Structure 1
């Protein structure tokens, strides 16, 4: 049966009086995922390069991976970012000890990244595709509480997830599911690793674990160095068929990774059997997972700005059929404030799907802009 659920559906979700578009200065194409830091909040551009911004905005900073940072004194409808040109002849490409950097960050994580109870206003977005067709979309305003902004393995293994991270849904702006013909691959499984994915410290731990595995090869290369920040590429190849490639921005003075983008290529892993929530068995084939973590500095410590996961080329096989799956989850940390160790009440149950939790109705504006693809999906009958 075709199911369609839509909350607060209007032609446009824009609640701000203005919006800004960020373009590539050379190609004039939209720059998605560009970060705009204002005095008391931050926003990101959507897939079409748009972000909500008041006309009174001034003294803000626009940055994006692969581009030079732009500092704006006042509001502009369009800002063009210049690509960060890397001249191979001028920059001597040298090897970088990835393991040394990761081990140092792991050892000093709580000294360099903010490690006290924190409360954030966030936007949570999730999209799912089957055979390249969008069939599920949820966008919600939420509050996110973290006890230490790092993953606690002891609580994770004991399944005490509420002692690590809590979320409260304030407003589900959009929720639509058109699952006709889409196989239900959801299981009752929820591991500590799924909670760990919210934290960059967990990814550092996972990379070091992989690098210490027998016959694993890895390398790092310095691509550019502007005196303050380095752009470093990384490659990790394991014996069991997992390849990891990516780039990171490393602040030399603070000894922190400020931006991290990596692709876990897992298509070489063998498929295995799973059972969905209805008890139906199917074959699950791993695909590729891209992870993005973005941070900004405030009062001497680094705070999370964005966490994004893109899963692609996953295959579900059942009853002689095959579906290719792709999904995206994104958490944008708009505002930050110090908190206590109690957390949120009510709060969602992470062992359920996010959208299965009942939202708290709050009357507040939201800096969410739909992309053309998302708007077209919501407009479908």
Structure 2
């Protein structure tokens, strides 16, 4: 591998039908604040709360299991709202750990990846969400049903030039779609966004881990133990800065010592090297600079192996021309709500990963199904353009 495989984000420009459902709020028991991306296992599907801590759950579902990275797990036999989760600790008291070698832990994860994590052909149904902000204001929102096919459930470096052979996305109903037209004063060719091809690597946790190991080959990682109980560890880490590429990693992870598995991983990448040259609609040259990126992976256990259920990517930075400097932020998530065994053939109907999701929508028809937007997102959709 000639190039370091860390995340350089350069930006370009479930259905619940025919059934009754209930809006359920998941809150922090200590302060009653909403818990975003709390995971709800229903037995047949995986659901997550939105930014406001709310989720739609079919009424007929009775037994659910709820968890979140910094909270205790709760099992419920009958739906109620709100549901409170207890934080694992009131304050993060950092304890520096000298006997946990995070690099070695990461290497062991890579060595055993195909046995700890499900590695046969898989088909997922779920949703994709893209959201962009320009100068602090939301400028783009897309929510769509998707199918995701993965041949291995890990990034295949041997076929890195032919990602279509192990990763496909099929775009189904468009639930919400709105993009504002930027004024000519903004130095953007279009609203900053992520291309599907940028998501290929970030879809797979092993890609991110290998990238960090390559970047930090001769550098140290400070690791702190925040919590441990029954073999479950909550770890915080912070790497030294790679001065050559001006990049540094910090983050959190949940590690199951019994299964030797990372259950969830949050990585924040501070970087000053991700820059691209662009030309605005008026022909004015400008640069797009990504200064910070963040990825999150969440898994759940099924038949003694782990399956992915949520992957999020966020990047922020600024675009700069001769006359102005404008901040931007772009966010993308894929929620994998249902899993089934797949084949080695991939999807018949799949999008072109080199084009944006919007370019892959032939007619821009919106077929809204029951989807719970956050209050901010709903306000954006309802506002007159």
Q: TM-score, normalised by structure 2?
A: 0.86
Counterpart Cα distance in 2 of 1:16 and 1:161: 39
Please list the CA deviations of residues 52-106 of structure 1 after superposition, one character each: whole Å capped at 9, or x if unmatched. Answer: 01222222111112111111111112101111116888x9652320011000011
Q: CA deviation at 1:245?
A: 1.0
Counterpart Cα distance in 2 of 1:74 and 1:246: 35
Match of 2:141 among 121, 137, 140: 137
For structure 1, which segment, 53-62 or 246-255, has the greater mean C-alpha deviation from structure 2 after superposition?
53-62
* Residue of structure 2 in register with 1:346 after alignment: 349
| Mapping of residues 265-344 of structure 1, within 5 Å | 265-266=270-271, 269=272, 272-276=275-279, 281-312=285-316, 314-344=317-347
Counterpart Cα distance in 1 of 2:169 and 2:108: 30
Cα distance change on mapping 1:191 and 1:344 into 2, 3 Å: closer
Q: CA deviation at 1:273?
A: 4.6
SS at match of 2:251: strand
User: Across the two proteins, how many residue pairs are aligned to each other?
Assistant: 361
* Residue of structure 2 in register with 1:259 after alignment: 264
SS at match of 1:373: helix
Counterpart Cα distance in 2 of 1:14 and 1:184: 42
Match of 2:154 among 150, 159, 163: 150
Structure 2: tracts of 5 or more residues without a match: 1-16
SS at match of 2:88: coil
1:206 and 2:208 are equivalent in the alignment: no
Q: CA deviation at 1:275?
A: 2.7
Structure 1: tracts of 5 or more residues without a match: 1-12
Counterpart Cα distance in 1 of 2:203 and 2:237: 21
Cα distance change on mapping 1:58 and 1:173 into 2, 3 Å: same
Please list the CA deviations of residues 123-178 of structure 1 after superposition, one character each: whole Å capped at 9, or x if unmatched. Answer: 1000000011001000001111001011112322x2x2211211111101111010
Structure 1 contact 14–368 (Cα < 8 Å) conserved: no
1:167 and 2:160 are equivalent in the alignment: no
SS at match of 2:104: helix
Q: CA deviation at 1:365?
A: 8.8
RMSD: 2.9
SS at match of 1:19: strand
1:106 and 2:101 are equivalent in the alignment: no
SS at match of 1:369: coil
SS at match of 2:72: coil
Q: CA deviation at 1:258?
A: 0.2
SS at match of 1:138: strand
Match of 1:71 among 75, 78, 94: 75
Cα distance change on mapping 1:364 and 1:137 into 2, 3 Å: closer
* Residue of structure 2 in register with 1:377 after alignment: 380
For structure 1, which segment, 315-324 or 272-281, has the greater mean C-alpha deviation from structure 2 after superposition?
272-281
Structure 1 contact 56–75 (Cα < 8 Å) conserved: no
Structure 1 contact 171–361 (Cα < 8 Å) conserved: no
* Residue of structure 1 in register with 2:42 after alignment: 38
Please list the CA deviations of residues 300-342 of structure 1 after superposition, one character each: whole Å capped at 9, or x if unmatched. Answer: 1100010001212x11112412210101100001000001011
Counterpart Cα distance in 1 of 2:113 and 2:256: 14
Q: CA deviation at 1:224?
A: 1.4
Counterpart Cα distance in 1 of 2:266 and 2:227: 16
Q: CA deviation at 1:17?
A: 2.5
SS at match of 2:71: coil
Counterpart Cα distance in 1 of 2:366 and 2:373: 20
